Structure 1
Amino acid sequence: MPIATACLPVDELLCAIRELSRAGRWETAALLLESLSVTDPDARARVALTAAEVALEHDWFSGTDTAAERVAVAVAEKETHTTPGGAWDLEFVRLRHDYARLLLVDGTLRFGPVGKDPEALAALRRRARALRDGAPDDRRRGWAALYLGLITDNHFAERTAAPVHYEAALRAGEAGADDLLAREALRHLGDHDHDCGDRTRALDRWRRATALGARAGTVPGTLSQQLLLAVLARDSGDEPAAQALATEVTRWAEAIGATRLAQQASAFLGGTDPTAPPQDR
């Protein structure tokens, strides 16, 4: 039965649905989206965009393939966007989807440029730059900067060039009180600290990222941060602590259906380093 939206604004419902998605309740979020009955074209476009965002989160942590169809529906609604920033948000969702899609080579996550179409990667980076330069506000500019860093890091393996983008994202996240953006920036800056051998700074950043993620309600994101803390425990020689953390991350990730994250934690228990430089992963 469709959910009546007359007594609650659509945007408030969509905000609650996004919170469910951050908590790892992707199926519930998707079910609510399918149950919404909206006739206003702009509201319909925002519902389609949120459905694409939920599917992207689901796919990233679970290794599923649900986003392509949702993104296509959101693109089909493109001309009905009248909300400020709506068109930018759609292009950003498309960028996120293509970023994740290009990471998969023969069904496996592959970091670095090997085995990938160089023209597709170059186009992806150009799009990220265009989104950053054309962002309607500082918060969105920060998110585009974050993905410019991720593309530089994980598709081009240009490790020394990426942190400046993460720093810009962190400034935007802190200035705009966007805990998720600040969390993502700290996560990746800490990764670079770790690679440079600065475990103290990595620990500080990864602890801050863990707390920010928890405050923002991202359950799978907080679990992924706990796995990074397990990496530092192993680095410091505390293997029992590393094993204990990773065991719980595996158990909890499996419980919420975050299959890809559970596999990463299980691989860590077997000796794999999830923070190895992109070309070595």
Structure 2
Amino acid sequence: MTNTTSASRTSVDFSELLACARELSLAGRWDRALGLLETTSVGEPADRTRLALAIAEVALESDWFAGTDLARSRIEAAAGLLPEEDWDLGFARLRHTYHHLLLVDGALRLGPDGKDPATLAGMRQQAYGLRDRAPDEVRRGWASMYLGLIADNHFSERTAAPAHYTAALEAGESGPDPLLAREALRHLGDHDHDFGDPHRALERWRRATALGAGAGTVPGTLSQQLLLAVLARDTGDEAGARALATEVARWAGAIGAVRIEAQATGFLAGVDPTAPPQHSEDIG
């Protein structure tokens, strides 16, 4: 495997290159990660599919946090190399559909109103299919995670979602996959907060913040910090809440995570990012 530029050709271990690109993406360096991957040349068919899927994953992260529109073409490029039933391809498509239906003209559209019922039902059926045919427990956990997100954010089925998040948490802890565990804790904590248990929410959100930081996800950690600001405001520490949110907005703006920046700015203006219909699932 080679990474090529106009000036040089350098041989590096392919798995290490994919891992480095993944870490760059987690850090919010989506342009750099895509640049690294898209200038990489591989010969083996299996490596070409891994590369195409890695490119699609980075593009999905960029679209979600930075508001770009990069994933669709990258997912279809990967589809040209893989059988239709490939699990990772299906999961990339599920994520893209979920995000596409949730974000309209840069704004959140929560709940089923204004969305095609057949499209929503098809998305949920796809998630169940991915869960049931997952090749390992961690992938099964990620499918469960999206079943919870779909129930919460597209069907407004708040009582149905926590069971899916709990299944995702168990998979993330046993995998282990700290990013999956972080995601599940984030959303379980949102339900704790909504149902009047701020102490349990704080416990879960603190743990989610630490897991995300340990895994290197900069935008994900910033989104968690904003939830801690919400709890600070809830307990009367407005100065602490504003100080934390100000730094979240500053950091998010610096890395181009425009959605988190907007949410933090809204919080400073008095908007509660966890209040219905704006649940904390909206970002990250």
| TM superposition score normalised by structure 1 | 0.94
For residue 56 of structure 2, what is the aligned residue in structure 1?
Answer: 52
Alpha carbons 1:24, 1:218 under 8 Å: kept: yes
How far is the alpha carbon of 1:107 from its aligned partner? Answer: 4.4
The answer to whether 1:33 aligns with 2:37 is yes
SS in 1 for 2:86: helix
Which residue, out of 79, 84, 89, partners 1:75? 79
Distance verdict in 2 for CA 1:273–1:21, change over 3 Å? same
SS in 2 for 1:242: helix
Q: Superposition pairs for residues 217-228 of structure 1, below 5 Å?
A: 217-228=216-227
Give the percent of matched residue pairs that are identical in Structure 1 and Structure 2.
Answer: 66
Alpha carbons 1:105, 1:116 under 8 Å: kept: no
For residue 22 of structure 1, what is the aligned residue in structure 2?
Answer: 26
For residue 2 of structure 1, what is the aligned residue in structure 2?
Answer: 4
How far is the alpha carbon of 1:104 from its aligned partner? Answer: 2.4
For residue 134 of structure 2, what is the aligned residue in structure 1?
Answer: 135
Which residue, out of 62, 66, 76, partners 1:62? 66
How far is the alpha carbon of 1:278 from its aligned partner? Answer: 3.3
How far is the alpha carbon of 1:277 from its aligned partner? Answer: 2.7
The answer to whether 1:208 aligns with 2:184 is no
How far is the alpha carbon of 1:193 from its aligned partner? Answer: 0.2
Unaligned runs of 5+ in 1: none
Alpha carbons 2:189, 2:200 under 8 Å: kept: yes
Alpha carbons 2:67, 2:106 under 8 Å: kept: no
For residue 247 of structure 1, what is the aligned residue in structure 2?
Answer: 246
SS in 1 for 2:275: coil
SS in 2 for 1:278: coil
Distance verdict in 2 for CA 1:244–1:127, change over 3 Å? same
Alpha carbons 1:128, 1:148 under 8 Å: kept: yes
For residue 272 of structure 1, what is the aligned residue in structure 2?
Answer: 271
For residue 179 of structure 2, what is the aligned residue in structure 1?
Answer: 180
Alpha carbons 1:59, 1:66 under 8 Å: kept: yes
Distance verdict in 2 for CA 1:106–1:8, change over 3 Å? closer
Separation in 2 of the partners of 1:278 and 1:51? 33
How far is the alpha carbon of 1:195 from its aligned partner? Answer: 0.2
How far is the alpha carbon of 1:11 from its aligned partner? Answer: 2.0
Separation in 1 of the partners of 2:175 and 2:63? 27
Alpha carbons 1:145, 1:168 under 8 Å: kept: yes
How far is the alpha carbon of 1:8 from its aligned partner? Answer: 3.0
For residue 92 of structure 2, what is the aligned residue in structure 1?
Answer: 93
How far is the alpha carbon of 1:259 from its aligned partner? Answer: 0.8
How far is the alpha carbon of 1:111 from its aligned partner? Answer: 1.0
Distance verdict in 2 for CA 1:5–1:118, change over 3 Å? farther
Separation in 2 of the partners of 1:114 and 1:237? 35
SS in 2 for 1:263: helix
Alpha carbons 2:59, 2:71 under 8 Å: kept: yes
What is the CA RMSD across the aligned residues, in angstroms?
1.8
Alpha carbons 1:186, 1:205 under 8 Å: kept: yes
Give a deviation string over 1:133-183, Cα, whole Å, max 9, x none.
Answer: 110111100000000000000000100000000000000000112100000
How far is the alpha carbon of 1:279 from its aligned partner? Answer: 7.0
For residue 148 of structure 2, what is the aligned residue in structure 1?
Answer: 149
Q: Which moved more, 1:1-10 or 1:121-130?
A: 1-10
SS in 1 for 2:4: coil
How far is the alpha carbon of 1:7 from its aligned partner? Answer: 4.4
Separation in 2 of the partners of 1:96 and 1:261? 19
Residue 13 of structure 1 aligns to which amino acid in structure 2? Answer: L
How far is the alpha carbon of 1:114 from its aligned partner? Answer: 1.0
SS in 2 for 1:60: helix
How far is the alpha carbon of 1:73 from its aligned partner? Answer: 0.8
| TM superposition score normalised by structure 2 | 0.93
Separation in 2 of the partners of 1:105 and 1:18? 27
Alpha carbons 2:4, 2:10 under 8 Å: kept: no
Alpha carbons 1:233, 1:242 under 8 Å: kept: yes
Separation in 2 of the partners of 1:108 and 1:75? 29
Q: How many residues align?
A: 276
Q: Superposition pairs for residues 103-118 of structure 1, below 5 Å?
A: 103-118=102-117
How far is the alpha carbon of 1:106 from its aligned partner? Answer: 4.6
